Amino acid sequence: MPGAVKTYDILAIGAHPDDVEVGSGGVLIRMVGMGYRVGIVYLTRGEMGTGGTARIRKKEAERAAEIMGADLLEHFDIGDTRVFDTYENRGLVARVLRKYRPAIVLAPHWEGHTGKRQSHADHVATGRIVLNAANLANLKKFDQRSEPHEVRAIFHYFLPIGVSPTFVVDITDYFDRWLEALKAHRSQFLNPKKTRDYLWTLETMARSFGSLIGVKYAQGFACSSPLHVADLLAVAGPARRVV
């Protein structure tokens, strides 16, 4: 259909430019490699981050999206550190879901403790906004200018401390490219003014998830509701290589 908006297999939503890369980048690279269409949407411009500016971070996110093979990158500006689960924000995301009609949505986890080294309040709020927006997007009477859309599943990255993943995805073969996508965010991960080695932390997390399924690197996700399974073998994962 000429002029029709492309639909997406996976739409990954984050609060700040880099969230999607950090929480699910290796998996997105894997999915793009399998032929799936992947899009990325950010709710803020990350202007409150210690490193970079809104303009710099937009450029970095564009480069990272290119490296990951995403064919959509959209930025909203609802205010870094001011992300709340309001009707207005649910409506904004519901319209995005109706526009791009993803089968699967990735979003930050909807719970978490607050404070340094804990969940960022914007991440938690984004997880909640996405869960509520998915309901709104499917309501016939919400915004009658667009067609209702039902998302098949929402998978959450950024698991709070102590929360086990519902499933874990092997990204070993995609690790180097993932690292490249992360390094595109120079202001965040290669910034000499920042003393913390974030890349080391992210590699350690990927190794930790990997150890849960006997592979080198992986990323973990949680679901807020049970997975609807039709084929037990499809969710059993590949047979382990006998060494």
Output the smallest distance, CB 150 to Zn ion, in A. 28
Do the strands 153-157 and 104-108 form a parallel or antiparallel pair, or are they unpaired? parallel
CB 47 within 8 A of CB 54: yes
Q: DSSP letter string over 175-214?
A: HHHHHHHHHT-HHHHS-TT--S-HHHHHHHHHHHHHHHHT
Q: Which is nearer to Zn ion, 22 or 215 (CB)?
A: 22
Q: Which is nearer to Zn ion, 103 or 163 (CB)?
A: 163
Q: Which is nearer to Zn ion, 16 or 177 (CB)?
A: 16
Interface characters, 131-170, with Zn ion (x: CB under 5 A): ----------------------------------------
Site membership for Zn ion, residue 80 (CB under 5 A): no
CA contacts within 13 A on the Cβ side of 102: 27
Output the smallest distance, CB 77 to Zn ion, in A. 15
**C-alpha distances in Å from residue 8, one per residue of 62, 99, 122, 188, 231:** 18, 10, 25, 28, 23
Q: Which is nearer to Zn ion, 132 or 188 (CB)?
A: 188
Tokens of 207: 């190794």
Q: Which is nearer to Zn ion, 129 or 137 (CB)?
A: 129
Give Dmax (Cα) for the chain.
57
The correct pick among 8, 12, 19, 184 for binding Zn ion (CB under 5 A) is 19
Site membership for Zn ion, residue 109 (CB under 5 A): no
Query: What is the radius of gyration, based on Cα positions, of the chain?
Result: 17
Site membership for Zn ion, residue 128 (CB under 5 A): no
Q: Which is nearer to Zn ion, 177 or 185 (CB)?
A: 185
Output the smallest distance, CB 34 to Zn ion, in A. 27
Strands in 110-186 per DSSP E: 153-157, 167-170
Chain position whose Cβ is nearest to Zn ion? 16
Site membership for Zn ion, residue 60 (CB under 5 A): no
Site membership for Zn ion, residue 185 (CB under 5 A): no
**Which stretch in 19-27, 69-77, 132-140, 170-178 sits in contact with Zn ion by CB under 5 A?**
19-27
Strand partners of residue 219: 169
Q: Which residue has the tokens 């709070």?
A: 160
The correct pick among 11, 13, 16, 25 for binding Zn ion (CB under 5 A) is 16
Strand partners of residue 183: none
Residues that bind Zn ion (CB under 5 A): 16, 19
